[in-house]
């Protein structure tokens, strides 16, 4: 049994998290598996202790709430066998490169079982390492969401495959090389393309240059010499979409027929507009910087609006894919 600000008893079935706000304590109930039964005197004593510590350490309310909540959660996790491996855990702080962090972030610790249960004051627990880039499900996410690290990772991986292709080009026919290209190269580039494809154009061009080096191995020597001045035309000859157009293809197909349940797509509705130029098109939000321009909220409606009406209004997804691919190939030189 605990007591609130009004002096009336408050029933608590689980452990309590005590927060010190100003002069009076506020007691909040927390869902914790191991209930801690405390008397009223012990609870008041604990409140005073927390309040005194907060004054000495100049902790504000939010920091104090975080410290106490995190301690209870970690203790409950340890009791139930949910332990965070510090050596394999990293964290990053995502922010704009033009807005650096004003303050050095405080270190984040994960305490051991003995440290949590014995309330050790001077523990020897190691902090979690802060990094500039982490790998999540095979995708490298950097602190600026620029996808530079992931593009460089793909380039290194594709260069390794390219060296194998070079040796295979003397031993297997071009038809076999095309199959290997579909299996080994496109599968690598298509993975998470809808995410990292939003990066800057200069980074995408690195991958397209590598694509061209692969295509030069897929055609015969006569065709390669014919388009020596403009190898970009090999995309149309080999019927392979550049990665920039493949990104548009994936975004369009993933969002086909979902405007009713997609928060990113809103049909233009202007009762005062008598022209039909906006009929069937989607609202494109205004953005203030290059990061807003690269967001899905801007890219998806902008891409669909620039498709011909025949393709955008196609109901069948299979026909939509076929028409879209033909349209994208027609835009190639």
Q: Please tell me the distance from the alpha carbon of residue 35 to that of residue 31, in angstroms, as a whole number.
A: 9
Element (H, E) at 117: helix 113-118
Question: pLDDT category, 42, cuts 50, 70, 90?
Answer: low
Q: Please tell me the distance from the alpha carbon of residue 93 to that of residue 305, in angstroms, as a whole number.
A: 35
Phi-psi region of 257 (alpha: psi -120 to 50; beta: other; left: phi over 0): left
Question: pLDDT category, 184, cuts 50, 70, 90?
Answer: very high
For residues 165 and 158, the answer to whether their CB atoms sit within 8 Å is no
Question: What does the pLDDT look like over 133-150, one tens digit per residue?
Answer: 999 899 999 998 889 999
**Reduced to 3 DSSP states, what percent helix, strand and coil does the chain have, rounded to the nearest 5?**
50, 10, 40
Could you tell me which residues are beta bridge partners of residue 25?
Answer: 20
Please report the DSSP string for 29-77 in residue order.
Answer: E---SS-----HHHHHHHHHHHHHHHHHHT--HHHHHHHHHHHHHHHHH
Residue 314 is classified by DSSP as -
Q: Which residues contact 75 (CB under 8 A, 6 or more apart)?
A: 34, 116, 117
The three-class DSSP label of residue 124 is coil
Tell me the pairing of strands 139-142 and 133-136.
antiparallel
Question: What does the pLDDT look like over 82-114, one tens digit per residue?
Answer: 777 777 888 888 888 888 787 788 888 877 777
Give the tokens for residue 111: 């305490």
Task: Identify the weakest region by mean pLDDT among 6-15, 112-121, 127-136, 258-267.
Answer: 6-15
């Amino acid at each position: 049994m605990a007591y609130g600000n009004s002096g009336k008893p408050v029933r608590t079935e689980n452990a309590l998290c005590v927060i010190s706000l100003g002069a009076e304590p506020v007691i909040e109930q927390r869902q914790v598996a191991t209930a801690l039964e405390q008397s009223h005197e012990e609870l008041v004593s604990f409140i005073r202790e927390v309040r005194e510590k907060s004054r000495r350490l100049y902790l504000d309310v939010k920091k104090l709430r975080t410290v106490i909540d995190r301690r209870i959660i970690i203790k409950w996790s340890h009791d139930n066998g949910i332990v965070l491996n510090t050596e394999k855990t990293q964290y990053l702080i995502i922010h704009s490169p033009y807005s650096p962090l004003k303050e050095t972030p405080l270190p984040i610790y994960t305490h051991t079982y003995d440290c949590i249960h014995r309330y050790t004051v001077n523990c020897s627990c190691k902090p979690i390492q802060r990094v500039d880039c982490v790998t999540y499900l095979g995708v490298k996410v950097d602190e600026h969401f620029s996808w530079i690290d992931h593009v460089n990772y793909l380039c290194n991986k594709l260069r390794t495959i390219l060296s194998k292709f070079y040796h295979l080009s003397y031993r297997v026919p071009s038809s076999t090389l095309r199959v290997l290209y579909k299996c080994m190269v496109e599968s690598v580039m298509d993975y998470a393309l809808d995410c990292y494809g939003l990066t800057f154009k200069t980074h995408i061009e690195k991958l397209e240059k590598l694509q061209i080096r692969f295509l030069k191995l897929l055609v015969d020597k006569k065709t390669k010499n014919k388009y020596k001045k403009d190898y970009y035309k090999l995309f149309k000859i080999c019927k392979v979409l550049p990665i920039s157009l493949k990104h548009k293809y994936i975004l369009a197909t993933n969002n086909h027929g979902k405007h009713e349940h997609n928060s990113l797509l809103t049909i233009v509705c202007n009762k005062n507009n008598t022209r039909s130029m906006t009929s069937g098109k989607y609202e494109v939000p205004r953005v203030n910087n290059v990061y807003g321009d690269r967001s899905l909220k801007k890219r998806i409606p902008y891409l669909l609006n620039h498709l011909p009406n025949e393709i955008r209004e196609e109901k069948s997804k299979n026909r939509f894919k076929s028409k879209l691919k033909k349209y994208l190939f027609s835009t190639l030189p």
